[in-house]
Amino acid sequence: MRPVQHHPGFTITELLATLILLVLFFAAAGELFKSTILLSSGSQEFSNRASQLDSAVFQLRRDVWNSPQIFVPKPTSADLDSSEGKISWTISPDGDIARIDFRGRTERWNAIGRNWSLATDGICLMIRDGSAEMCLPSQILLSSGAHP
């Protein structure tokens, strides 16, 4: 009888175990890739929203700073006087903010004013969002000694 020769190679069990490990590795790698892409997309959206918010608040602060009168007829609108005319700010129910200047030009910021409400104490225009409040003062009203 001839002795059994062993050929170098892998058994079917070893190949199957390796295949299972590869499947698990690629499944985990796929989930990691998906999470990375979603995070990247989310951070871009957050960055765009923060930039829009900064732009709107900068313009609103500038308008209020130069206004001798702040009128808030309702929590979703404010009228500001300026040396050149009236400037109106409105917040729509879906959070869009619009600024209409004395020439009738409109600027819009989409969906950044959700849950915002406006109020005034006579010197400041207050922006409230339910969890915080920001006071934007008028330099003209401050220097005139007006009191809230």
Q: In what order do the strands lie in the sheet with 86-91?
A: 70-74, 77-81, 86-91, 97-100, 106-109
Separation of alpha carbons 99 and 104, rounded Å: 9
Reported as a single tens digit per residue, the pLDDT across 117-146 is: 999 998 999 999 988 999 999 999 888 876
Reported as a single tens digit per residue, the pLDDT across 88-116 is: 999 999 999 999 999 999 999 998 998 99
- Domain definitions of the chain by residue range: 59-143
pLDDT band at 147 (very low <50, low <70, confident <90, very high): low
Predicted pLDDT of residue 4: 67
**Mean pLDDT across the chain, nearest whole number?**
89
- The pTM score is 0.71
DSSP assignment of 97-121: EEEE-TT--EEEETT--TT-EEEE-
Reported as a single tens digit per residue, the pLDDT across 81-92 is: 988 899 999 999
Arithmetic mean of pLDDT, 48-67: 93
Cβ(42)–Cβ(50) below 8 Å: no
